[in-house]
Structure 1
Amino acid sequence: MGESINIPTTRTHCIGGYLARPQGRPKGGVIVIQEIFGVTAHIRNVADRFAAAGYTALAPAFFDHLESGVELGYDKTGMERGKSLVAELGLDRAVEDVASAAEAISSAGRIGTVGYCWGGTVALLSALRLGLPSVSYYGARNVPFLGEKPRAPVMFHFGEKDPSIPPEAVARHRELLPQMELYTYPAGHAFNRDVDPHAYDEASAKLAWQRTLAFFDRELAGA
């Protein structure tokens, strides 16, 4: 369903991206922000699902600034390499890339973001700093930024059994951004990652997907 494209960025360097288009006129555009493992088959599938739901979806390959074609495994080696890459890339550059990606699909209409794990924090920052309505799945790096004034609405999804995001961190979201939708699920970290039987929780993922689509139908398609 999708295709590979190049995305011009603000740092005179193109990065790749996976672009999935809907049939017919798009409801809007969604930037799909990866986990620390790169633009994997799972992330491409997420983009395809948004396209099937009527949105132009683009998953930028953020790591192309450092190394092209990164797709890491969901094991200890992949996790350590992914952590190293996101640390080297930095959140500021990632947010710049989201802005570039949003410009690349601006013809789709109003643009939002959805992000997972590391991408969940990039999605939050996209709402805070770029004014893009965003959905943040289990963003373990969110808390330091919750004091910033949001420029767009955010929806949060968290697993109640996620050791990387304790209840106190979820409570800080509710305390500092009480106007935002926040949902918790009887699941662990990465419960939406359907290619990983150790993480995936089908019931939680399906409910979060329904809520995410409702959010974008309201904030993008309904705008």
Structure 2
Amino acid sequence: MIEVTASDVKFSAYRADPEGAPKGAVVVLQDVFGVTADIRKIADDFAAAGYVAVAPALFDKVKANAELASDAAEEGRSLIAEVGTEWPLAAIQATVDTVKDAGKVALVGYAWGGYLAYLAANQVSGLACAIGYHADGVMEGAREKRRIPTLLHFAEEDPQISEADMIQFRASRPDVSAFSYPGATRGFGYAQAPAYNVEAAEKAQERTLFWISQYVVGQGPVQLKNAGAYAQAKVERKGKKKADDMGPPMD
């Protein structure tokens, strides 16, 4: 763990470093339960992929070292209400500043963290791209044009984000690459959680790593299958579209 300061408030952050020179950095944003074992494992996986990974403890301003049990979502929501969004965004900026010497920085958030990643994409400086998993509340900022490349992953069976909301969001923000995963529910990417869905998790991680590689490492553009780059299509797509690709907005 490291210590960071934002708006005169000290907070902790879990940091994982790669072997050898880093390709860049990834800031991992927690969900409603805090910097849990699942969040730390995600940071470790990014470090194994060659990035400096840091997960700031965004509850520290109101409750230090909060790591809630899986049945304590209500307490987590109370902490979210108490901490608000202004200070977490300042903490995200401070965290980004601590890793920018590693190269370009990506932001990856989960649930509440996915929402913060979406907000931070337009408010935090020094970011190369932003990625959100089952990001609560993104409809609130759906009309605001994205300033950096943004990728979102939605679970088709998410009890808190309806299919109608996903479709409406995609229609409102054609500049965001958004994917839906059939049969998956909230938390599908957490390897230690009951909701873990190996097929959805692996596909989402492939897309996430590709996105980070393209915008952080800066490799030449390579078209990933179903990557959502519809503006590049030169021919009419025929047949039924892939179930997990939400597709371009309807005219």
Q: Give the TM-score normalised by the residue count of structure 1.
A: 0.94
Structure number with the higher helix fraction is 1
The equivalent position to 1:46 in structure 2, one of 34, 42, 49, is: 42
Equivalence for 1:116: 110
> Aligned partners of 2:40 and 2:161: how far apart in 1?
25
Are residues 1:103 and 2:100 paired? no
Equivalence for 1:196: 193
Matches within 5 A, 1:71-86: 71-75=67-71, 78-86=72-80
Equivalence for 2:227: none
Are residues 1:151 and 2:147 paired? yes
Query: How far 1:146 moved relative to its partner?
Result: 1.3
Equivalence for 1:25: 21
* Count of residues in Structure 1 that have an aligned counterpart in Structure 2: 216
Q: Which runs of 5+ in 1 are unaligned?
A: none
Partner amino acid, structure 2, of 1:8: T
- Contact in 2 for aligned 1:191/1:200 (Cα 8 Å): yes
Deviations 1:95-152 (A, max 9, x none): 1111110001111111110000000101111212225211110012111011122110
Secondary structure of 1:65's counterpart equals coil
> Aligned partners of 2:122 and 2:165: how far apart in 1?
18
Equivalence for 2:231: none
Kindly report structure 1 stretches of 4+ aligned residues shifted beyond 3 Å.
Answer: none
Equivalence for 1:210: 206
> Aligned partners of 1:112 and 1:90: how far apart in 2?
23
Q: Give the TM-score normalised by the residue count of structure 2.
A: 0.84
Q: Which runs of 5+ in 2 are unaligned?
A: 220-251
Secondary structure of 1:99's counterpart equals helix
> Aligned partners of 1:126 and 1:55: how far apart in 2?
20
When the two chains are superposed, the root-mean-square deviation of aligned CA atoms in Å is 1.1
